Structure 1
Amino acid sequence: MPKLEQFEIKKYWQIFSGLKPIENKVNHDQVLPILYNSKLDSSVLNKIWFLADIDEDDNLDFEEFVICMRLIFDMVNKNISSVPDELPDWLVPGSKVKLIKERKKREQIENADLPPKKEIKVDWYMSPEDLDQYEKIYSSCVKLTDGTITFNELSTKLSTKFFNISKTDLNKVWSLINPQNLPSVDRDPTFYFIHCLRQRNDLNAEIPASLPNSLAEICNKKQVNYNLELSQPSAKKKDPVRGVDNVHDNVVDSNADNISNNAFTDDNSIKQKYATLTDEQVVNVREQLEGLMQYKKNEETQGGSNRSKNVNINSIIDDLDNMEQQVELLESYLSNKRHELQSLQAEIS
């Protein structure tokens, strides 16, 4: 690590003066843009701030600011691979030597009295106060058209609130609450994501390797995607929405083969496809199909929107006809099942 040069000090003074210090000091908010522009992990930046703030007043005078800037530039330029645990003697200003010695002595006394560290586990219970706080964060995030939030949006938002979490922490917790590796998550996984990282930030809690079973079921639930921009390959054309088959597969069998466009007009094929459905599953599929139909109708009526300009009207009409036929067949199938049930009940009685 090369020692300080005079030109460096002049450069740091220009930056320091540009921050408009008050009584020759700048606070954390004033320095924050410089910290974020460095692209260093928040855990690294927090350690640099701690080392630079020798008098521990949460402000930096010019001498402390020079320490902060030098450590940041050394990390960015890879002159050092990690932030040192203690400041090298050549980087300590003469006016701060006494404070450094007092800090070391105080830390030695405090560490001697501390009991052995215990591993802190994440408590997954969320109080009403927690939920209110997480709801505010969730509401402030930019969401996709289906109401879900991406990793980049969440990590950017939380990095400004939790300064003791690293990129590694963010990635670990994202994988934890998003086991299906989806590009975005909805409300419940978002809350668990924030809740876990908050305890990591505040309590240094260990990130667990897996979720409790009850939470795993919530985070593993599959979502029906209504995004018009997604396409599905078919024998004749590409459907601008996820096909009806995908809805069925999510409810009944994720490994079932996709139904081709020809199957939409083949009553026998459709009946065979849904032969194993229970009454409750038929109702669920029908509700989802009707939801898709309503969504498509809404898109069709919004002729002035930007999205409708990119959608083929004929394709929408075809899709609506196909889904209406699906609903009719499902209703017919459900009616037959009910008649069979009534017959069986009559024979039993």
Structure 2
Amino acid sequence: MPKLEQFEIKKYWQVFSGLKPIENKVNHDQVLPVLYNSKLDSSVLNKIWFLADIDDDDNLDFEEFVICMRLIFDMVNKNISSVPDELPDWLVPGSKVSLIKERKKREQIENADLPPKKEIKVDWYMSPEDLNQYEKIYSSCAKLTDGTLTFNELSTKLSTKFFNISKTDLNKVWSLINPQNLPSIDRDPTFYFIHCLRQRNDLGADIPTTLPNSLAEVCNKKQVSYDLGSSNPGTKRKEIVRKTDNLHDNVPSSNTESNSKNVSTNDNDIKEKYAYLTDDQVANMREQLEGLLNYKKNEKTQRKSNLYKSINISSITDDLDNIEQQVEVLENYLNNKKHELQSLQAEIN
């Protein structure tokens, strides 16, 4: 591993100065953009910060900042495969040698007094305070039209809150609470996803390999089926109603007790509303709307044959027209996205 060079120290000084240190020190929030730009795992960055913060004051002076930056660059450039448990002698500044010795003695004493490490299990009980906190996180996330959240959205949000979890932890917990490997999960599994990761972050709890039986039903929900051939159509109808209630008014609902409300489907408003969606999210939303459209069409056909039932045909027709318009707008939006992608690929080539 190459030693520190003078030009390297000058480069780190420029970065350090740009962070606007106070009394020759920068705190974690000031250094955070530099840490995230490295794209290293949060667990790796936490270990680097601990090694660099030799005086344990949660701040870095310039000498400590140099240590932090050098370890980050060595990891990014693959000069080292992992963060060392201790700083190499050549990286320890002369003014910090005594502090390093004191830290080692302190760690030896602390480790000698510690009892054997016990396995910490995840406690799945969520208190009202926990639920309130998780609700805030859930509300702050960008959801799909059915109210569900993707792995990318959740992992990005939680990585800024839980600094002691790694990408491996995120993947393990996602697989645990999403055994069907669905592209997105709804509110209840989301809460358990956050709850498990929080205990992993705060307590170092081990991630279990299986869910308790009491949670299996919550996390094994199946996708809503629009098949009218089911032996229990009443149950299917209830599932569909619950599903459409979560679409946040993106799909207009029918009203059999009063005249159907006119819903504005201005193309520009819809495009602006869905501007944050990726191609996969648009395709997923389109699939759901088409499924609901087919259901409505089949429902209309079936109810026509049941003459003894009085229904509001105009209400269903209005729903079909509105849904068809939204599907068309989404198709146009998806095509525009594809053209943009092709243009970018052409520019790259």
TM-score range, shorter chain: 0.7 to 0.9
Shift of 1:146: 1.0
Alpha-carbon shift at residue 282 of structure 1 (Å)? 2.6
Counterpart check, 1:285 vs 2:285: no
- Letter matched to residue 247 of structure 1: Y
Native 8 Å contact 1:289 1:323 kept in 2: no
Q: CA deviation at 1:331?
A: 10
Residue correspondence of structure 1 range 59-138 to structure 2 within 5 A: 59-138=59-138
Largest Rg, 1 or 2: 1
Identity percentage of aligned residues = 77
Distance in 1 (CA, whole Å) between partners of 2:194 and 2:70 is: 33
1:324 aligns with 2:303: no
Q: Are 2:226 and 2:292, in contact at CA under 8 Å, matched by a contact in 1? A: no
TM-score by length of 2: 0.74
Residue 166 of structure 1 corresponds to which residue in structure 2? Answer: 166
Residue 33 of structure 1 aligns with an amino acid whose one-letter code is: P
Structure 1 partner of 2:48: 48
1:302 CA displacement: 3.0
What's the secondary structure of 1:162's corresponding residue?
coil
Q: Which runs of 5+ in 1 are unaligned?
A: 225-245, 249-269, 334-349
SS at 2:60 equivalent: strand
Per-residue CA distance 1:256-303 (angstroms, 9 max, x = gap): xxxxxxxxxxxxxx7xx45xx2xxx33222345667699366899333
Partner amino acid, structure 2, of 1:80: I
Residue 29 of structure 1: how far off its partner (Å): 0.1
- Separation in structure 2 between the aligned mates of residue 331 and residue 216 of structure 1, nearest angstrom: 43
Contact 1:290–1:327 (8 Å) recurs in 2? no
Aligned to 1:304: 266
- 1:332 and 1:127, CA in 2 relative to 1: closer, same or farther beyond 3 A? farther
User: Per-residue deviation at 1:197?
Assistant: 0.4
The 8 Å contact of residues 53 and 64 in structure 2, kept in 1 or not, is answered as yes
How big is each residue's C-alpha offset from its partner over 1:292-346, in whole Å with a ceiling of 9 and x where there is no partner? Answer: 69936689933314587999xxx9988744322235669989xxxxxxxxxxxxx
Amino acid at match of 1:286: R
Counterpart residue number, 1:247: 226
Q: Secondary structure at the match of 1:247?
A: coil
Q: 2:147, 2:119 → 1: CA distance?
A: 36
Structure 1 residues 136 and 331: alpha-carbon distance in aligned structure 2, compared to 1, 3 A threshold: farther
| Larger RCO (CA under 8 A, 6+ residues apart) | 2
> Are residues 308 and 2 of structure 1, via their aligned partners in 2, closer, same or farther at CA, if it must alter by over 3 Å?
closer
2:226 counterpart SS class: helix
Q: Return closer, same or farther for 1:332/1:189 CA change in 2, 3 Å cut-off.
A: farther
Question: Where does structure 2 lack aligned partners over 5 or more consecutive residues?
Answer: 255-260, 272-281, 310-349
Query: Quick one: structure 1 residues 126 and 308, their matched pair in 2 at CA, closer, same or farther if it must change by over 3 Å?
Result: closer
- Could you tell me whether the CA contact under 8 Å between 1:165 and 1:200 is conserved in 2? yes
1:38/1:76 contact within 8 Å kept? yes
Q: 1:130 Cα shift? A: 0.5
Q: CA deviation at 1:122?
A: 0.4
Change (3 A) 1:332 1:207: farther
For residues 238 and 304 of structure 2, the distance between their equivalents in structure 1, rounded to whole angstroms, comes to 12
Distance 2:208 2:106 in 1: 34
Contact 2:226 2:295 in 1 (8 A): no
Measure, in 2, the Cα distance between the counterparts of 1:30 and 1:215: 41
Q: Report the alpha carbon displacement of residue 192 of structure 1 after superposing the two structures with TM.
A: 0.4
1:227 alignment counterpart: none
Q: Deviations over 1:150-187 (max 9, x none)?
A: 10111111111111100000000000000111111110
Equivalent positions of 1:152-301 (< 5 A) are 152-224=152-224, 246-248=225-227, 273-274=229-230, 277=231, 281-288=232-239, 295=251, 301=263
Give TM-score, length-normalised by structure 1: 0.74
Cα separation, 2, equivalents of 1:218 and 1:324: 33
